[in-house]
Structure 1
Amino acid sequence: MSRKVFDLYRREWILRRSIEWRPPYNEAEQFEHDVDGGRGAAIFILSSLLLMWIVFFFWLPQNAHFPWFFWLIIIVIIGFFPVRWVLRRQWKVVAETVGAYDQPAERWQGLVRGWTRSNDEMKIIKRQLETQGTPGHTDSPLQPMN
């Protein structure tokens, strides 16, 4: 997602955010990752779960009937973790300008956890640029990169 914003000094800034596919190294959260089995373990668990569901449906009697809420529960269970993953994933927020003849180019970048928080941070940065001329503020995750 990208949007153009003009700051207090009429410079054009480009605000964008993108999902981070690889989590950065974070010392505070290292305890969660020291027992991580990696992709191999995740693929094994998901494939065994899929195999279990296939065997379950092939061994059903032909006249077995499942109510509609059973299918709804299955969809909610299957969809919970991907939706949670997208909503809790880290997003990279970038604010950059090419500069002008009297002002240098700037690039600010930071990581924000969660889709809604990254959306809120984009709104805060837009408001900061329009009122103060800089994307950084006191509690901002953005840091100057140049």
Structure 2
Amino acid sequence: MTRQVRDVNGRLWTVHGTLEWRTPATEDDFEHDVAAGYVPGIVMIILIITLGIVLISWMPGGVVVPGWLILLLVMAVLFFPARWALRRPWKLVAETGDDGEGEPVEKWVGTVRGYFTARSEVAKIAKSITQDTQPSYEGVIKPLS
């Protein structure tokens, strides 16, 4: 998700977003940043699979399971992984210029949660750059010092 945008002064800005696999730690999240790792998730998946196998193996032979029930169970199992994937944080960056060493002269960075939110924010940033000389200060991205 990359866009090239020109501001009113003619400078070329690059606005892009990248998916972050880990949630960035901020001072607001400090007290809650005590993740136990991946072990609890793996234990829960093994437990669910084990219980599903036990349920199917103890089912009497004459029971007919309707197709809509199987579809409903598959959708329920896939809901949380799909929600997790769609709610990953995205790092948004708007940068312009070159100082001769490949580094941008001006760089703005911010983080949003979710693919669709990231897409709309990139569009808002691009629009504010075309109407002004830089991104809006009210947006999610802030200038780096």
TM-based fold match above 0.5: yes
TM-score when normalising by structure 1: 0.81
Tell me the equivalent position of 1:133.
133
* 2:37 matches 1:38: yes
Aligned-residue offset at 1:133: 1.9
* 2:49 matches 1:50: yes
Equivalences, count: 142
Aligned-residue offset at 1:57: 2.7
Tell me the equivalent position of 1:120.
120
Return the alpha-carbon distance in structure 1 between the equivalents of residues 33 and 65 of structure 2: 40
TM-score when normalising by structure 2: 0.81
Aligned-residue offset at 1:125: 0.3
8 Å Cα contact 1:97/1:106 also seen in 2: yes
8 Å Cα contact 1:93/1:118 also seen in 2: yes
Aligned-residue offset at 1:30: 4.2
Tell me the equivalent position of 1:98.
97
* 2:1 matches 1:4: no
Instruction: State percent identity of aligned pairs.
Output: 31
**Paired residues for 1:46-85 under 5 Å:** 46-85=45-84
Instruction: Name the stretch that deviates more: 60-69 or 15-24.
Output: 60-69
Return the alpha-carbon distance in structure 1 between the equivalents of residues 105 and 137 of structure 2: 22
Letter paired with 2:126:
K
RMSD (Å), alpha carbons: 2.4
Relative to structure 1, is the Cα distance of residues 117 and 42 closer, same or farther in structure 2, using a 3 angstrom cutoff? same
Long gaps (5+) in structure 1? none
Return the alpha-carbon distance in structure 1 between the equivalents of residues 32 and 8 of structure 2: 43
8 Å Cα contact 2:25/2:33 also seen in 1: no
Task: List per-residue Cα deviations over 1:1-60 (Å, max 9, x = no partner).
Answer: 2222222222222211122111122343445444x4321111111121122223323333
